[in-house]
Structure 1
Amino acid sequence: MSVGRETDCLIIGGGIAGLSTASRLADRGKRVTVIAAGKDLSHCNSFYAQGGIIYESLSHDSKSLKQDIQEAGCHINYEPAVDQLVEMGPEMVRRVLLDKAHVEFDRDAEGEWLRTREGAHSENRILHRGDESGKAIQSAMIQLVGGLKNVEVLTEHTAVNLLMTSFHSTDRSRLHEPARCFGAFVFDQNAKRVEPIFARHTVLATGGIGQLFLHNTNSKFSRGDGIALAHRAGCRLENLEYVQFHPTTFYHPKSTRFLISEALRGEGAVLINDRGERFAKKYLPEYEI
């Protein structure tokens, strides 16, 4: 095993969350290492996303957004997190995606951002780029991060275990202190070896768990790596039963499945069965879109 490399911050995952974090840290002068399991940074769910991202509605009604989020969450949401999303979300979209990464979302005839509506939203507040919004955002973020000298991107690298003082410290007295993460053991898929990456801070941004299900439209790397890493490190996990699903996908027994954007339903499309019945309305009428 090699001696390993050192960095201020190790980010495990190269999707929108990981790259936006890398960009922010780089602005503060930190040395950042981003690792991703795929051959390049397009092999992630962020790239595959079709629908857009929440911005602000033309009414600028933050109370309406908060109500929509709480309704979608059956009012068991963690309210401080909802408030943070409502207050900071649109500003972060503006600051990171519009002003910094220059994502070219669709515009109307007057040159204004074109907003659409998606599931559980009561107003049009979704910015999008056709039905390839994720591709547009991820591509812009890849270009942004690629131009940052203090950000190193390692593709085809998979995190195996987090480095923890409670397990891996050479100072045995630290075994009795509160556990602290100082990087990760990482598998280099090309060199076929595991090496440590030492970091003052480690960020888990590995995405979801779609590949745990037989039928899904997720990236093949969406398999819960971050959850497994955190669990083995002794972190407390909660709310794992809350799994988002989309009811619309293109299915063919001999072809790869792909998502049919919920923006279609936001624009008026409805779900019908083989008898022409709007069956979804029977179960959750308020969330038919």
Structure 2
Amino acid sequence: MTTVILVLLCLAIAGRELYLASDKRLPRAQVELRELRAQLAELTRRHESLQADVAEVAAPGIPIPQPDRSPDVLDRFDALHDRVVVLEKTVGELTEDLAGLDADRDAQRALARSLDTVERDVLELHREMLDRLDRDEGVVGGLLLSEEGEAEALLADAFEGCASEYGLRVRVRAPRTDGGWLGTAYHLSGMRPDALAEELFSYARGLYAPDDPSALGALLAELAQLRGGGVARFGPFTAVRTQSSLLCGLLPDDDAAEPWELAGRVRELPEDRRCDLTWLRADD
């Protein structure tokens, strides 16, 4: 193909020279002729270079490189292939796990929504039940706390035993946390809060022995044995254990003081609304 192009260029140059002999626009034609000759020289040079390269490649004795097929190379290839297979399998498993996690998240979100709905329904039912009980027989709010949950199970048994002795039924129990104080909030039915509180307070003021057999005596004794603080409330009736004292009093039922503030509130009550039972402590 290169040879044909060279022949055609030679013919074109010869034709151009014949034409220029009679052309009156000689200067411009001479410029075109020089450009054509330069192109011819460049093509000739490239053609000769290409022929030399072809002759060199075709010369005998020059080895043609072959792929390395030694056992070591094949072993490395097989090992690499095995790793690729393992990685593909791992990626597939991870993909399945991720799909499962997405499904689990959807299920968990649906479950969380269902639980929220159930909790709202339960709270609403509790409110309706307590409102009805309050109208019919009275509802008393109860509270039992101790620092860091000390003796929580023993206190709960004594508290609920006291409630039962006074004809109260536990309607609602709810975990309660106030700072480092742990315990339970109660709703109890069976008496009006003020009547119950007066009865409990009167009995507490009449205590004279640490081994009193009543359920209230057992509850107060458990409070007295605590190393830290404790609170037991039945409506307005409040028993407070501090590190140095055990006090009882009749606080307003809606007093929302923190547990560690209740002892100070009780001390501020009139004498006929409070009593000191510190003598129940075992170390006194």
> Normalising to structure 1: TM-score of the pair?
0.20
Higher RCO (C-alpha under 8 Å, 6+ residues apart): 1
> Normalising to structure 2: TM-score of the pair?
0.21
Q: Which has the higher helix share?
A: 2
